[in-house]
Amino acid sequence: MKLPARFRFALALTAAALAGCAALDVYQTEPARSHRAQGLESPAGVCAALFEVIDRAVDGSEVRDALASRIAGFPYLRASRFLASFAGEPLSDAAFDAWVARLRRLDDEARSVELANLPRAAREALIDALPARFRAAPLEGTRECAKLLERSDLSGEAGRTRLRAAATVPPDYDEWKRAVGVYPLTRIPFAAGVRNYQARTREMFATEQPLAGRRVRYALQRTKAASAAEIAEILARGDPLGVAEPGEGKLESLFAAYAPEFEIDEADENDRLGALAYGKDGARGRAAPARHARRDAVRASVAAAYRGLGPHSVARRLAHPLLPAGPRQRARRRRAAPLLVRLRRFAALTPRRGRPP
């Protein structure tokens, strides 16, 4: 006898909870824990259960998307290092809403990948366990639930403060393993090897190399590339967070402007770019090279660009009166003036040997 959908959903949720690790569980943290405690009698409880059953199926099949981190207590949001960098900053209401929208979009993108990567048997078991209204389109169900839970969780300042504290991305390195392992011993020869490789590469590009075949350049057509002025205009238009939001046409012009060019010495067809292909007659050849472009964002720290120097050292390098004062240096000082104010304020709050985070 087949159990009713409601009981199958509750059974799947119970099995998921028993299989989970409570210490690291997103659903053991507020506000998700309170929604979970409401059970299937409330819309918020149903939504929390929906996210949990899907996440358990994804984790059980080991297909979790690695590009974003789940946020404890907020299963409908995910964070990247870029978005997590806004958590500790003062944000207007509009900027906070834009930030949450990006966190939600990141979760939606990750879930679409995870659901698509579920093995067939796991996907069928998941669909069978879901309430009837979610079976046809589970992703649409998570979007509907995300809106419901967001309204419940983030309507007050307490919820917003909780989200700011939870929106973190764990480090990719285990520091204790690096400390007790061989990393301290290998870093010196490894760094020397990198420097030697960089020197050889610079030397190779600085001298004309003999050709083994023919030199072929692969590049995008530059007819649609944005000019420097157009690029500045595109990047100046952003959302309340200050993140540029170019439309599809503008994005294509940015891709064209920054696309790399590849110059390859083709000795034979094995050196050609493009996927291996076979013609109708069975002859082997190469397909036309495909272009892959991904849009992303980063927040650059000028201080970090100075190879880990503390703020005192950065300030000295940028504006020390004893440095040469040629035209370039004077222009650099003028551009750096607002940065120096921030750096000096930061330096006053840090130890003398401190480093910017």
The answer, yes or no, to whether residue 315 has pLDDT greater than 50, is: no
* 328 — pLDDT class (breaks 50, 70, 90): low
Percent of the chain as helix, strand, coil, to the nearest 5: 60, 10, 35
Least trusted range by pLDDT, from 7-11, 41-45, 344-348: 344-348
SS3 assignment for 72-134: CCEEEEEECHHHHCCCCCCCCHHHHHHHHHHHHHHHHHHHHHHHHHCCHHHHHHHHHHCCHHH
Backbone angles phi, psi at 338, to 5 degrees: -60, -35
The answer, yes or no, to whether residue 163 has pLDDT greater than 50, is: yes
Distances (CA, A) of 335 to 11, 319, 329: 62, 11, 10
Q: Which two tokens stand for residue 138?
A: 């589970």
Tell me what pLDDT residue 151 has: 95
Tell me what pLDDT residue 33 has: 93
Tell me what pLDDT residue 143 has: 95
For 261-306, what is each residue's pLDDT tens digit? 888 888 887 888 877 777 777 666 677 777 777 777 777 654 444 4
Tell me what pLDDT residue 233 has: 84
Q: Are residues 315 and 343 in contact, defined by beta-carbon separation less than 8 angstroms?
A: yes
SS3 assignment for 139-196: HHHHHHHHHHHHHHHCCCHHHHHHHHHHCCCCCCCCHHHHHHCCHHHHHHHHHHHHHH
Least trusted range by pLDDT, from 28-37, 126-135, 171-180: 171-180
Q: Residue 289 is which amino acid? A: P
The answer, yes or no, to whether residue 9 has pLDDT greater than 60, is: no
Tell me what pLDDT residue 327 has: 52
Q: Are residues 60 and 122 in contact, defined by beta-carbon separation less than 8 angstroms?
A: yes
Tell me what pLDDT residue 104 has: 97
* 160 — pLDDT class (breaks 50, 70, 90): very high
Least trusted range by pLDDT, from 209-213, 263-267, 342-346: 342-346
The answer, yes or no, to whether residue 108 has pLDDT greater than 90, is: yes
Q: CA-to-CA distance for 16 and 340, rounded, in angstroms?
A: 53
For 302-314, what is each residue's pLDDT tens digit? 444 444 444 444 4
